[in-house]
Amino acid sequence: MSEKITKFIEEIKSLTILELKDLVKAIEEEFGVSAAPVAVAAGPAAAGGGAAPAAEEQSEFSVVLTDAGAQKIKVIKVVREITSLGLKEAKEATEKLPSVIKEGLSKEEAEEIAAKFKEVGATVELK
């Protein structure tokens, strides 16, 4: 890997979650690309017309804050508790909705985090 790319990766590692989100959005807009995963078409069916395979259960979840509710200060505290964001970044995450709070979680972890937000009156989605 070139030194230029290595330096760029090190710079990206220092960004906050919100800064990374903005970077991805800017790259998508600038180059007309999407960071969304591409669905791969299934291969041809086996000879004899076997039944379709069962859908795979989702193994990783993201917690997306969709509404901060009336108790925004409590929601900001929960965001800071769950993430390593500073006060400013946590406040921005509660204002710029929808906002991905945490990604790559197990179903149980995502449900625990969702329950914490529900306790303080916020609305979240698990994706």
pLDDT in single tens digits along all 127 residues of the chain: 788 888 888 888 888 888 888 888 888 888 887 766 555 555 454 444 444 455 566 778 888 888 888 888 998 998 888 888 888 888 888 888 888 888 888 888 888 888 988 899 988 888 8
Q: Contact, 109 vs 59, CB < 8 A?
A: no
CA-based end-to-end distance of the chain: 34
Q: Give the pLDDT of residue 41.
A: 52
d(CA 119, CA 21): 27
Residues linked to residue 124 through DSSP beta bridges, in sequence order:
65
Q: Phi/psi class of residue 4: alpha, beta or left (left: φ > 0; alpha: ψ in -120 to 50)?
A: alpha
d(CA 78, CA 29): 31
Residue recorded with tokens 């969709």 = 66
Of 116, 125, 103, whose CA–CA distance to 76 is shortest?
Answer: 116
